Amino acid sequence: EIVLTQSPGTLSLSPGERATLSCRASQSVSSSYLAWYQQKPGQAPRLLMYGASSRATGISDRFSGSGSGTDFSLTISRLEPEDFAVYYCQQYASSPRTFGQGTRLEIK
Amino acid sequence: EVQLVESGGGLVQPGGSLRLSCAASAFTFRNYAMSWVRQAPGKGLEWVSAISKGLSTYYADSVKGRFTISRDNSKNTLYLQMSSLRAEDTAVYYCAKPETTETTGGGMGSPFDSWGQGTLVTVSS
């Protein structure tokens, strides 16, 4: 099974700043089948990015994804108050699909 | 708009059983593999089980032999029959739909673009 390790565990930033979240896989994720989800308290996860760098429908262009192989990242260019949440990466290339442990983005 | 509505959660004693349902609407349910994903209180996401369009089933090792996934395409409903429940099965259970119908192995090759609101299962005496 592919293990995904996200870093940092918690990221403290202010609105307007840039956030960079990392997701490292224990083995190569084929076809860049790597997604990012945002989850707010009491809510279901929401798909942000898929294919490592494609934005899901309705997602702001402040969100961007990059990477391939074993190293992936999610960047939020200018943080808005509604961006503070927990972010998960997920690989859907190899069964079982697996999630990272999450990065909590909190207001500094 | 796609809707997934889970039900059937609740409090159950260790060793007990529970059946979860997920009612789907606004998409052609029979054309999609479907999955269950769970989240223990304060923890991350864990894929639990998937069922393909052709009714092949897939399970995480942690639930294999105890949980059974099924679907009724005439009712647009996904199920998860859970038995021999343990304290570590306590979680919010979400059903999730892949973005595309073109998937393999129970939804592989596609992220989840729609999730239900979740149903809480608590295993405790």
How many whole angstroms separate alpha carbon A102 and alpha carbon A43?
A: 15
Structure tokens at A68: 């391939």
* Confidence tier at B45 by pLDDT (50, 70, 90): very high
Query: pLDDT tens, B16-33?
Result: 999 999 999 999 999 999
Looking up tokens 């059974």, which residue turns up? B68
> What region does B4 belong to: left with phi over 0, alpha with psi -120 to 50, or beta?
beta
- Asked whether A36 and A89 are in contact (CB, 8 A), the reply is yes
At A32 the pLDDT is: 87
DSSP B60-109: -TTTTTTEEEEEETTTTEEEEEE-S--GGG-EEEEEEEES-S--BTTTBT
At B101 the pLDDT is: 87
CB contact under 8 A, B45 and A90: yes
Q: Per residue, what are the HEC states of A6-72?
A: EECCEEEECCCCCEEEEEEECCCCHHHCEEEEEECCCCCCEEEEECCCEECCCCCCCEEEEEECCEE
Chain A residues close to B44, C-beta within 8 Å: 88, 99-102
* Confidence tier at A91 by pLDDT (50, 70, 90): very high
Closest chain B residue to A93, measured at CA: B109
* Confidence tier at A68 by pLDDT (50, 70, 90): very high
At A30 the pLDDT is: 86
At B104 the pLDDT is: 82
Selected for mutation to probe chain B from A3, A92, A98 (highest B CB count within 10 Å) is A92
At A49 the pLDDT is: 98
Beta-carbon count within 10 A of A44 CB: 21
Chain B residues close to A45, C-beta within 8 Å: 45, 94, 112, 115
Closest chain A residue to B107, measured at CA: A92
How many whole angstroms separate alpha carbon A82 and alpha carbon A60?
A: 12
At A104 the pLDDT is: 98
Beta-carbon count within 10 A of B10 CB: 11
Chain A residues close to B113, C-beta within 8 Å: 47, 56-57
Determine the average pLDDT of the residues in A82-95: 96
Query: pLDDT tens, B50-108?
Result: 999 999 999 999 999 999 999 999 999 999 999 999 999 999 999 999 999 888 877 78
How many whole angstroms separate alpha carbon A77 and alpha carbon B69?
A: 41
Query: pLDDT tens, A16-47?
Result: 999 999 999 999 998 889 999 999 999 999 99
